[in-house]
Amino acid sequence: MGMLYRRKKKDPATGEFVEVGPWWMKYFDNGKPIYQSTKKYDKREAIAALKRAEHKVLEGQREGPLVYRTKYEDLVEDLKRDYRLRGLKTWTRRQYNLDRLKPVFGGMRIAAITTQRLQEFVDKRLQEGAAPASINRDLDALKRMMVLGQRQTPPKVGKIPHFPRLTENNVREGFLEHDEFLAVRGAAPDYLKVAMTIAYYTGMRMREIISEKGLRWEQVELHETEGRIRLAARQTKTNQPRVIYMTGDFLRVIQKAKELRDRDYPHCPYVCHRNGKPFNNLVHGWQAACKRVGVENRTFHDLRRTGVRNLVRAGVPETVAMKISGHKTRSVFDRYNITSEEDLRQAAVKLGEYIQEKKVTFTVTPEALLHSVSGKVASQAIEKWRRGRDLNPRSSYPDTGFREQADELVGDGTDTQKNAQSRSQSGD
């Protein structure tokens, strides 16, 4: 049960304490007292404000003492702490989102962030030419901050407003055919060839291959006919270790890279290096190689899509392919398993072959039936089959050849039996 009261102040003229200012309310949330100003000077209006506050508590809408004091910067610190405690590796990317949120919401109280202000932020970003996906990521960062604030004790955030969402249509569908990959790899600088080969055959992420945290020779086992790569959990985005085997062209490239490293830079621990030192950026070398051979609108990440696609086309079970590429969820894996026009053409060919096979089986079945039973029984079976499909005995068929066979087969029982006997005598 809540209560109302007014703060008292000593009157310098009389020396007595008198009530001044607006009405304050005291109510309880989960057993904890909440003291808050109603900002009302009329007691009836203050009573209504108290009832609204108690009603929000009953509905589960948190109204702790920090809800109206928490600012945007306070939640940024909570988000940083959450990333640090969970060991997430994408803080740099999230920082980009915060840099775009700060000019609009910096210094603002979280309770003042409404759906209308969020929509105004979306309009502003669209006018700046931002992509819908980028805007959604910005809003995701802000919403995550609010969720973390709402989970605090006492809560820093009350009711979270509705967040607008934009339709994203930026799903990339780029991949490289094998001849394109060979052409680009041949035109690429030497330091890039090994990284390209690993990405193409395994679908590994770029950050799992290059940089100081990338692949090291101590994780690679090389034998004459096969090799093996062991990725530690700390290196992967999903924090799950992986084992990848190497054969064929993939193995030969890695063996050659090991030979050159032992000869020129024996103390270099990195599989992908440039003059014995790790590198973090391969965009310029990649773009130059693509331009040199006329392969346009491709990114290095397209090699990851190509690797996933090739694994599936090679008949590797999708669960195994996900283990190799490091995909944790099926939804993301399906985005990488791209369907090309050649896949669609092959599907049409297989469908045609399937229909043709069903047609042949369909026309042969009555003949096989006639060879095994009497003509009368065969005719009854065919009529029963037709009735099950709502076909009349003399109905038209899409395939005129089959109609002639069906008419010949049905006839009357005597003709059918004679046909069967003549075929058996002729050895047909």
Please tell me the pTM assigned to this model: 0.55
365 & 226 share domain: no
65, part of any domain? no
**What sign for the dihedral angle of Cα 380, 385, 387, 388?**
positive
Co-location of 252 and 277 in the same domain: yes
- The verdict on 234 and 332 lying in the same domain is yes
Which three-class secondary structure state does DSSP give residue 259? helix
The answer on 188 and 141 residing in a single domain is no
Full pLDDT tens readout for the chain, 428 residues: 689 999 988 888 888 888 889 999 998 877 778 888 899 999 999 999 999 888 877 776 666 668 888 999 999 999 999 999 988 878 888 999 999 999 999 999 998 999 999 999 999 999 999 999 899 999 999 999 999 998 888 889 988 999 999 988 766 667 888 899 999 999 999 889 999 999 999 888 888 899 888 899 999 999 988 999 998 888 888 788 888 899 999 999 999 999 999 999 999 999 999 999 999 889 899 999 999 999 988 899 889 888 888 888 888 887 787 878 877 776 666 666 556 666 667 767 776 776 677 655 444 455 554 555 555 555 665 566 566 655 554 544 444 444 444 444 444 444 545 555 555 555 55
What pLDDT does residue 168 have? 81
Q: Is the CA virtual torsion 59, 63, 64, 66 positive or negative?
A: positive
199 and 131 housed in the same domain: no
Same domain flag for 138 and 247? no
For residue 101, give the CATH number of its domain.
Answer: 1.10.150
DSSP H or E segment with residue 372: helix 341-372
Q: Give the CATH number of the domain where residue 278 resides.
A: 1.10.443.10
Alpha helices by DSSP H, 26-90: 43-58, 72-86
Same domain, 198 and 303: yes
| Assigned domain for 168 exists | no
Same-domain check for residues 14 and 118: no
Residues 6+ apart with CB under 8 A from 323: 242
Among residues 150, 165, 188, the one where a domain terminates is 150
Decide if 53 is inside a domain: yes
CB 346 within 8 A of CB 258: no
AA identity, residue 101: L
Three-state secondary structure of 292-324: HHCCCCCCCCHHHHHHHHHHHHCCCCHHHHHHH
> Angle 229-289-286 (CA atoms, 0-180°, nearest 5)?
50
What is the tally of structural domains in the chain?
A: 4
Whether residue 378 lies inside any domain: the answer is yes
- Domain annotation covers residue 162: no
Q: Domain for residue 272, yes or no?
A: yes
Q: Are residues 140 and 186 in the same domain?
A: no
**Structure confidence at residue 25 (pLDDT):** 92
One domain for residues 215 and 89: no
Of 315, 338, 361, which closes a domain?
338
pLDDT score, position 288? 93
Residues 289 and 373 in one domain: no
| Residue ranges making up the domain that contains 43 | 3-58
Do 110 and 81 fall within a single domain? Answer: yes
Give the single-character DSSP code of 112.
Answer: G
Q: Among 338, 372, 403, identify where a domain stops.
A: 338
- The closest of 129, 135, 124 to 163, measured between CA atoms, is 135
